Amino acid sequence: MTLRTSLLLLFVLFFSSSFFACKKSETLPSVNITIDSSVIHLKNDEAYRSCRVYVSIQNLQPGESDEVIWSSENPRVARVSQDGLISPEGAGETYVLATMVSGKGIAKCKVIVTDANDYKFRLVLKDKGNSNFSFNRPEAYLSLKAIERRRKMNISIDATDLPISEEYLDAIRKVGGTIVAKSKWLNTVSINCSDKFLIDKYKTLPFVKDVIMVWEGKRMTSPPNQKYTDIAQVTANHTNNVNFDYGSASDNIRMNNGQVLHQQGFKGAGIDIAVIDAGFISLKSNPAFKNVNIKGAKSFIYEDDNPYAVDDHGIFVTSCMAINLPGTYVGTAPEANYWLFRTEDRSSEAPIEEDYWVNAAEYADSVGVDIINSSLTYSNYGSFSDMNKIEDLDGKTAFATRGANAAVSKGIFLVNCAGNDNTYVGTPADSPGVLTVGSVNSSRNMDRFNSWGFTADGRIKPDVMAKGGGASVINVLGNSEKLNGTSFASPIICGLVACLWQAYPRLTNKELLEVIKKSADRASNPVLPYGYGIPDMQIAMDMSKAITISR
């Protein structure tokens, strides 16, 4: 090797070692990402229950992105938005992760969720299972009056009349929770439970088709009050009066020419009316109701089984039909019999109320009720926004509507208020078999609060109108006052339907529905927002008589 070659080799070795030593000294520190909290405790029962967390990134080089992607290892326990807002979903533990989009760093935060909520689920069944009941012995699950209603209208007792199999109900109970409602018509069972994740176990039952959450709320600190024992109020409510001094209820009656029914002795005797409402607080101690014949009362609310415990809305509604105090106040069906059913839970607004409503309608059918008045509607549930969208209100989709359709198919006449939201009618008022009643004032003009419009399948609702603006009612003290609402127009018409059916008992419920609509003042040209208009009971009587004679 020459000297020149040796010197060149030494130079190369020196330069290389210097280069690598320089690169080693310039190694960049690794990126460090952290979340400002290592453990988060959340309660699923608190109104403001979310918590926002933030990331801190160190050693980020100029030009590098600081964007992170948030995710949850178990979104059923806690979910996280892309701005770091963590919200609880169900009891348990999980980790929330912040991952840099560059892939250079990831941070974790432990989330512990406790849950003091209860949940209600609607279990939709594939079938009702093997029943111990049979078509040959309907008296085991229907009253004689219910059986007679079917016979009179040539309605067959079918599979929808049979109760759900006890075997199925026992299997549901074994999973957990308490059965709070069930529908043999719609093949559903509604459950209250404290474990949100029982939904997974319900879904594994071989006879369950679907499970839907229909209520979420704070768990009760004590078991539900289930101590109410019903006692019927049987009284002599017949009078020989046919020309009443209606007192403050005069305008309620006369707008629909209802006095002509009473003048011929038809005051609702022998007709059973179920009032499905929000509550009938202290009704039995109300002096105005002392001579009202009440066959029974029942609350379908899981948390409170006393129909008389809360709410005066049912007092107002029932008074429009039932009160019989000549000179003070006389309702539209003072001699009818009444069943009082509470289904509205005023502490919340959730789809479970439709389950209660259908449960009450089925009970009404089983005890032989002829007519149901429902001054309740359901359309928007807020947090349950996927239910009862406007396209669902087509007369056959919403849960309560399907229950109403079933009730009508059993021969029951169903009257429902249009609602007071100044928008389209909700369920079950959208049912084609339900007489939906809107509100007019003393000038026979529609009240501005009235709900109205075309249903999703193009039908006009409400069907007819009655006095709801400045309607006279009886309050919790037994005194009359004037209130506004389609809730009162509905029972005013309902009572008159009872009297008309007493007069012409051979009519079917569907024939009676057509008679009421065609007796109204806009029947020749039904138009929104009045529908067929304001019914006239003299015209309705004439039409009913003609139908009866033609047979």
Question: pLDDT (tens digit, 9 = 90+) per residue, 145-195?
Answer: 999 999 999 999 999 999 999 999 999 999 999 999 999 999 999 999 999
Tens digits of residue pLDDT in 485-532: 999 999 999 999 999 999 999 999 999 999 999 999 999 999 999 999
**Cα dihedral sign, 434-214-300-151:** positive
pLDDT band of residue 12 (cuts 50, 70, 90) is very low
The amino acid at residue 158 is D
pLDDT digits (tens, 9 = 90+) for 45-64: 776 689 999 999 998 888 88
Q: What percent of the chain has pLDDT over 90?
A: 81
- Structural domains in the chain, CATH included, are 32-115 (2.60.40.1080), 118-218 (3.30.70), 250-549 (3.40.50.200)
Q: What is 136-191 written as a DSSP string?
A: T-GGGTS-HHHHHHHHHTTPPP-GGGSPPPHHHHHHHHHHSSEEEEEETTTTEEEE
Distance of CA 249 to the CA centre of its chain: 31
Local confidence band at 542 (pLDDT 50, 70, 90 cut-offs) = very high
pLDDT at 48: 64
Q: What is the pTM of this model?
A: 0.89
Q: Could you tell me how far CA 488 lies from the centroid of its own chain? A: 20
307 token code pair: 């129909």
Distance separating alpha carbons of residues 332 and 499, to the nearest angstrom: 8
> How much is the pLDDT for 383?
72
Q: Which DSSP helix (H) or strand (E) runs through 549?
A: helix 537-549
pLDDT band at 30 (very low <50, low <70, confident <90, very high): confident
